[in-house]
């Protein structure tokens, strides 16, 4: 699979990661190399295979009863106003 | 007071002496801190140390004097990988994004270990967000292999493994997404167990790839591994993927040996490895035969696709998980004032290291609408195929063995420029994560002064068997596990 610089630039934007020109150059090569390796999955026929559920079942869900949070979650927020988190404005 | 080497003794021995009042916990913990001061400039295993450890040690000593009932790990020093949340200490994931982050809660495993009296002495180094095989991709320091400080300790739990091998702790916790406990255990000649998916709570483990990873014990003996596993298993209401199974005493059956067990040596995992590794693992197979196990070579054809499947899934999950680092609610704060959301978010995330950025981008690629079916869906189907092949083998075989790592610990910097080459070193460890089975790495031998680890895998929830076999092997081999 060929991967272009434009594609990597777009993916970086989707993931909100800033890349400078040099990074874009290096990443494009590396992404192409790795994606080409993933192409080995094309060699195998998987038509009759289904995505399996976990072999050991999950625990039962607990009852939906509200509990008091014991953690002071807001203690880690640097920019807060009263009980709100201050964030940059949406464009 | 009795004489024992507190830097190299097992947790089992030390805790016995502490409970009898023959060893002072304060002296023991102080001795470990002195040793850390002495060797840390060479090893670089820790990101931070716990200032409250000595105080905790005094509390244990007071409890001993008062004749109180003590926990299974009373007073025992434990090093914790720095992607496991500790409420009184920074949890950085070796990332600039979380450099000053102190979580408001403890991981469930931390609560459980502290309830048993263990003392956290520090947080250990890792590859940023546990993405790596060498611990070279920490944003703070490179941990070195105590057996040869020019070489990598393995990763991503490299700090935990190195601290054990250098006598800087008695027990350690690691996490394993694709081999991150077993690889450094192998490279540093210590024991590392990745338990069955769901046996240990992941609550408080900073997420990288949730469907693959688990927390597990890292120790200098198989017995200590069993002892530590006893303390951390069980259902947790904070992690609904934990299993509803009874807790066990994994030390109870540890001496039962391997006589009559059917063990398979996995051909695909040993065929392309370093010749020293191959010879050592074949020798290990013969040792199991001499202990009365029935040994055969087995083949798992789908393993040739395991690595591509693993990396596709791991990167997809990583790209989704790491979307949470926005620099708004916690972690790095670059001052949102005056910024528009997207530009702030992008600026914050430029603080990720290369390895992490690359994985997020590739994860985004394999999940994007045009490629989802071609990569992610296929990877999940391959996962099923691998699971089916292993399940059919476990109808006949009790355990499977293989090398943990295909190569010997290599020089620092040797593979950093070639990501794909680096991924290839995970070839023997990722299958256990893809299908959720337990796998243990134990010290097998040294060649030219470098450690080789043996990997033992079993069916879901077969930890007892794994530990029995590992213990039997350890009993008849004499491999160094610590250098002080």
* Structure ipTM: 0.93
CB contact set of B438 (below 8 Å; sequence gap of 6+): B193, B194, B195, B196, B199, B432, B457, B458, B460, B461, B462, B463, B466
> What is the chain A residue with the closest CA to B342?
A16
Q: pLDDT tens, B63-96?
A: 999 999 999 999 999 999 999 999 989 999 999 9
**Per-residue pLDDT, A51:** 87
Q: What pLDDT sits at residue A90?
A: 86
Domain that holds residue A30: 1-41
B225: in domain: yes
- The predicted structure's pLDDT at residue B4: 84
| Of B135, B138, B127, B140, nearest in space to B165 by CA | B135
Domain-located, residue A12:
yes
Confidence of residue A76 (pLDDT cuts 50, 70, 90): confident
Q: Locate B244 and state its tokens.
A: 């509803």
Read off the pLDDT of residues B297-346 as tens digits, 9 standing for 90 and up: 999 999 999 999 999 999 999 999 999 999 998 889 888 888 999 999 99
Q: How many domains does chain B have?
A: 1
Number of domains comprising chain A: 1
* Residue A9 within a domain: yes
Domain for residue B391, yes or no? Answer: no
Is B277 within a domain? no
| Residue B276, domain member (yes or no) | no
Residue A4 covered by a domain: yes
Task: Report pLDDT for A55.
Answer: 58
- Domain annotation covers residue B469: yes
What pLDDT is stored for residue B335 in this prediction? 87
CB-based contact, A91 to chain B, within 8 Å: yes
Look at residue B286 and tell me if it is in a domain: no
Assess if residue A8 is contained within a domain. yes
Q: Is the pLDDT of residue A68 over 70?
A: yes
A79-88, B82-91, B166-175, B281-290, range with the lowest pLDDT: A79-88
Residues 34 through 53 of chain A touching chain B, CB cutoff 8 Å = 34-35, 37-38, 40-44, 46, 49-52
Tell me, what CATH number does A5's domain have? 1.10.20
Nearest CA-CA partner of B433 in B126, B195, B258: B195
List pLDDT tens digits, range B111-162: 999 999 999 999 999 999 999 999 999 999 999 999 999 999 999 999 999 9
Per residue in B12-55, pLDDT tens? 999 999 999 999 999 999 999 999 999 999 999 999 999 999 99
Chain A residue closest in CA terms to B240:
A59
Residue B270 in domain: no
Q: Do A87 and B341 touch (CB under 8 A)?
A: yes
Domain that holds residue B203: 11-257+408-476
What Cα–Cα distance (Å) separates residue A78 from each residue in A73, B160, B371, B377?
11, 31, 39, 40
Paired sense of beta strands B119-124 and B46-49, if any: antiparallel
Q: Average pLDDT of chain B?
A: 96
Q: Which residue has the tokens 């209401």?
A: B237
Is B18 within 8 Å of B63 (Cβ atoms)?
Answer: no
Question: Residue B381's pLDDT band (boundaries 50, 70, 90)?
Answer: very high
Mean pLDDT of B162-170: 98
For residues B156-183, one letter each, b for 16 or more C-beta atoms within 10 angstroms of the residue's C-beta and e for the rest, the string is bbbbbbbbbbbbbbbbbbbbbbbbbbbb
Contact list in B for residue A71 (CB cut-off 8 A) is 104-105
A65 touches B at CB < 8 Å = no
What's the CA gap between B4 and A72, in Å, rounded?
43
Beta-bridged to residue B119, according to DSSP, are B77
CATH number of the domain enclosing B458:
3.90.1300.10
């Amino acid at each position: 699979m060929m991967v272009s610089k434009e594609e990597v630039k777009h993916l970086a934007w989707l993931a909100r990661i800033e890349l400078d020109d040099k990074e874009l150059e290096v990443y494009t090569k590396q992404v192409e190399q790795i994606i080409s390796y993933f192409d080995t999955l094309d060699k195998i026929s998987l038509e009759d295979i289904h995505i399996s559920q976990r072999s050991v079942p999950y625990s039962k869900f607990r009852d939906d009863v509200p509990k008091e949070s014991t953690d002071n979650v807001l203690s880690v927020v640097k920019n807060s106003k009263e009980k709100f988190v201050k964030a940059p404005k949406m464009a | 007071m009795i004489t024992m080497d507190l830097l190299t003794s097992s947790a089992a021995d030390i805790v016995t002496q502490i409970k009898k009042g023959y060893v002072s916990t304060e002296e023991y913990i102080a001795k470990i801190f002195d040793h850390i001061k002495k060797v840390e400039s060479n090893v670089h295993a820790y990101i931070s140390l716990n200032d409250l450890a000595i105080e905790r040690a005094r509390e244990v000593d007071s409890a001993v004097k008062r004749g109180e009932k003590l926990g299974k790990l009373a007073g025992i020093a434990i090093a914790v990988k720095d992607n496991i949340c500790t409420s009184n200490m920074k949890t950085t994931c070796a990332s600039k994004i979380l450099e000053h982050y102190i979580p408001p809660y403890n991981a469930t495993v931390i609560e459980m270990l502290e309830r048993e009296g263990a003392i956290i002495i520090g947080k250990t180094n890792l590859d940023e967000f546990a993405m790596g095989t060498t611990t070279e991709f920490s944003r703070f320091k490179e941990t070195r292999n105590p057996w040869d400080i020019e070489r990598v300790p393995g990763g991503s739990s490299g700090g935990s493994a190195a601290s054990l091998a250098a006598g800087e702790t008695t027990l350690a916790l690691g996490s394993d997404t694709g081999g991150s406990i077993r690889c450094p255990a192998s490279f540093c000649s210590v024991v590392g167990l990745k338990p069955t998916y769901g046996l240990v709570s992941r609550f408080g483990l900073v997420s990288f790839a949730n469907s693959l990873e688990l927390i597990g014990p890292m120790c200098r003996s198989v017995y200590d591994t069993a002892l530590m596993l006893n303390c951390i298993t069980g259902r947790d209401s904070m992690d609904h993927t934990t299993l509803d199974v009874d807790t066990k005493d994994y030390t109870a059956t540890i001496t039962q040996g391997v006589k009559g067990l059917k063990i398979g040596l996995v051909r695909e995992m040993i065929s392309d490895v370093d010749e020293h590794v191959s010879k050592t693992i074949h020798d290990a197979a013969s040792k199991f035969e001499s202990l009365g196990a029935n040994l055969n070579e087995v083949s798992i054809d789908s393993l040739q696709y395991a690595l591509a499947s693993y990396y596709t899934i791991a990167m997809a999950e990583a790209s989704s998980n790491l979307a949470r680092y926005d620099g708004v609610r916690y972690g790095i704060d670059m001052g949102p004032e005056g910024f528009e959301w997207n530009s702030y978010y992008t600026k914050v995330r430029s603080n990720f290291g290369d390895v992490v950025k690359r994985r997020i981008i590739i994860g985004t690629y394999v999940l994007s609408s045009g490629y989802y079916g071609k990569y992610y869906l296929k990877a999940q189907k391959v996962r099923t195929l691998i699971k089916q092949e292993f399940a059919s083998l476990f109808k006949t075989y009790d355990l499977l063995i293989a090398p943990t790592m295909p190569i010997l610990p290599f020089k620092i910097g040797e593979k950093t420029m070639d990501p794909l080459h680096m991924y290839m070193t995970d070839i023997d460890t990722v299958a256990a994560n893809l299908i959720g089975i337990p796998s243990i790495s134990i010290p097998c031998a040294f060649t030219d002064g470098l450690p080789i680890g043996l990997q033992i895998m079993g069916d879901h929830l077969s930890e007892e068997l794994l530990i029995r076999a590992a213990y039997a092997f350890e009993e008849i081999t004499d491999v160094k596990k610590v250098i002080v």
